[in-house]
């Protein structure tokens, strides 16, 4: 695993020990960012199921200003912090050990909105639709923001979730990605 592009290009990333996380492959990561980027002119990114932090670090490397990483696993949080430190991105990041729903409630209280939200939950425990619904209902996404959900190919996500529309989906072996944006002129 490595950072694919940007200021940290080629930098190796540690994986979370054990088999509780499934890192996004470099090939899929490159494809995701070619669709949603490939580079950013600032902004705030949320990596909600951080794992090793690879997706959020990639977004920072490609130009996002700040990132919030969340993972409920203590080992994952430690690896995210190590990867941020080795990429010299610690100052641009907040890292929290929390489950996704509780983290979203905390972010709602802070009244912040993200330009990019990365969702890569465990394939066995998909709550993508309910998580995206909470994001949409509480305006956690900016007007021009993007939600990228990575999921098992067998999971079929709806074409609309509240004011959000599925604008693109791609399959990569057993992995699928779905991209959501706000419908034109709509905000909850």
Q: Over the stretch 54-82, which tens digit does the pLDDT of each residue have?
A: 999 999 999 999 999 999 999 999 999 99
The closest alpha carbon to 137, from 166, 104, 106, 103, belongs to: 104
* DSSP string covering 89-140: -GGGEEEEE--HHHHHHHHHHHT--EEEEEE---TTS--HHHHHHHHHHTT-
The closest alpha carbon to 127, from 159, 102, 151, belongs to: 151
Tokens 């912040």 belong to which residue?
Answer: 112
* Domain limits, the chain: 26-182
Looking at domain 26-182, its CATH superfamily turns out to be Vaccinia Virus protein VP39 (3.40.50.150)
One pLDDT digit (tens) per residue for the chain, 188 residues: 899 999 999 999 999 887 766 677 788 899 999 999 899 999 999 999 999 999 999 999 999 999 999 999 999 999 999 999 999 999 999 999 999 999 999 999 999 999 999 999 876 667 899 999 999 999 999 999 999 999 989 988 999 999 999 999 999 988 899 999 998 755 54
Q: Over the stretch 132-151, which tens digit does the pLDDT of each residue have?
A: 999 999 999 999 999 999 99
Number of Cβ within 10 Å of residue 27's Cβ equals 12
Tokens of 53: 């932090």
């Amino acid at each position: 695993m490595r950072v694919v592009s940007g200021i940290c290009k080629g930098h190796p990333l540690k994986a979370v020990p054990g088999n509780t996380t499934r890192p996004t492959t470099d090939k899929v990561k490159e494809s995701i960012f070619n669709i949603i980027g490939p580079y950013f002119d600032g902004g705030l990114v949320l990596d909600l199921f951080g794992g090793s932090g690879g997706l959020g670090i990639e977004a920072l490397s490609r130009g996002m200003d700040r990132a919030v990483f969340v993972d409920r696993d203590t080992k994952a949080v430690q690896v995210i912090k190590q990867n941020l430190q080795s990429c010299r991105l610690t100052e641009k990041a907040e890292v929290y050990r929390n489950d996704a729903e509780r983290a979203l409630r905390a972010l709602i209280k802070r009244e912040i909105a993200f330009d990019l939200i990365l969702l890569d939950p465990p394939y066995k425990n998909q709550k993508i639709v309910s998580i995206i619904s909470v994001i949409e209902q509480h305006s956690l996404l900016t007007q021009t923001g993007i939600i990228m959900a990575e999921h098992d190919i067998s999971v079929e996500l709806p074409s609309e979730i509240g004011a959000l529309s599925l604008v693109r989906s791609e399959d990569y072996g057993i992995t699928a990605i779905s991209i959501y944006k706000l419908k034109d002129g709509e905000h909850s």
